[in-house]
Amino acid sequence: MKHGPRLNVVDMRASARQPVDYAVIGENRRLGEVPLHIVNISPQGFMIQGAPEIGRGERLQLRLPVIGMIEGHLVWSHEDRAGFQFERLIRVDMFAKLVEQITSPRPPRQGR
């Protein structure tokens, strides 16, 4: 019989990520509003390029289509990229709708 740690946490880093090119404004308690460029997203978290100067464990709050307000905490950063874990998992059906909205080309704005 093996005697080792029994971990209940599943390693989600290998989960499917959807590449995106999505700009959003995040909010950090210390820095205030921070422009973010999301380059991939999964139901568990997201990666940004052009990472703000925040430390591991710090939180960002952002508003995503379909999902609404959600918080993510910094898990890792390297050079100008950073990975965040969402405060909660996004349901698969909601995630599919989110990806559809943030990857579809936006129609041009009509002049007034």
Does the residue 6 lie in any domain?
no
Number of domains in the chain: 1
Angle 73-50-39 from CA coordinates, rounded to 5°: 75
Does the residue 5 lie in any domain?
no
Q: Over the stretch 35-91, which tens digit does the pLDDT of each residue have? A: 999 999 999 999 999 988 889 999 999 999 999 999 999 999 999 999 999 999 999
What 8-state DSSP symbol labels residue 93? Answer: H
- Where is 40: in which H helix or E strand? strand 32-41
CATH, residue 70: 2.40.10.220
User: Which residues form the domain of 71?
Assistant: 18-103
Does the residue 41 lie in any domain?
yes
Of 42 and 108, the structure prediction assigns the larger pLDDT to 42
Does the residue 8 lie in any domain?
no
Closest CA to 25 of 39, 17, 37: 37
